[in-house]
Amino acid sequence: ERALAEVDDYLRRNDNTLKYECVAETPYLEACTNEALRLYPVLAIPTREVMDDYTFPSGLKVEKGLRIHLPAYHLQRSPEYFPDPEKFKPERFLPENKQN
């Protein structure tokens, strides 16, 4: 309801015309999109290639060219990073909460 009200307000202020600027002027709608992508990532396990040799503080070494699979689905549902990870809470992504 809050996202719909935000879009309705935007349309009222812009002669019922949806413009690109709508994204910047509807932060709750953007937060809803980000939260949906957190819960249902487009790629559950994206792959990245190491660009330079690197040694982690733990001593683990990764070499340039190595491909690493990131468990995005599991990271994005970790209570360590997202309290109540199974709940849909767009407020996590509002500007005032992004630092947390």
Q: Per-residue pLDDT tens for 41-77?
A: 998 899 999 999 999 999 999 999 999 999 998 999 9
72: number of Cβ within 10 Å: 16
pLDDT at 100: 63
Residues 80 and 35 in one domain: yes
| Number of domains within the chain | 2
Residues 35 and 5 in one domain: yes
Tokens of 66: 């190595």
> What is the residue range of 62's domain?
43-71
Cβ atoms 6, 29 nearer than 8 A = yes
* For range 87-99, the mean pLDDT: 91
Residues 21 and 67 in one domain: no
Residues 35 and 1 in one domain: yes
Residues 19 and 2 in one domain: yes
Residues 80 and 67 in one domain: no
Residues 1 and 37 in one domain: yes
Distance CA 33, CA 38 (A): 9
pLDDT band at 86 (very low <50, low <70, confident <90, very high): very high
DSSP string, the chain: -HHHHHHHHHHHHTTT---TTHHHH-HHHHHHHHHHHHHS-S-SS-EEE--S-EE-TTS-EE-TT-EEE--HHHHTT-TTTSSSTTS--GGGGSGGGTT-
* For range 4-10, the mean pLDDT: 94
Residues 29 and 18 in one domain: yes
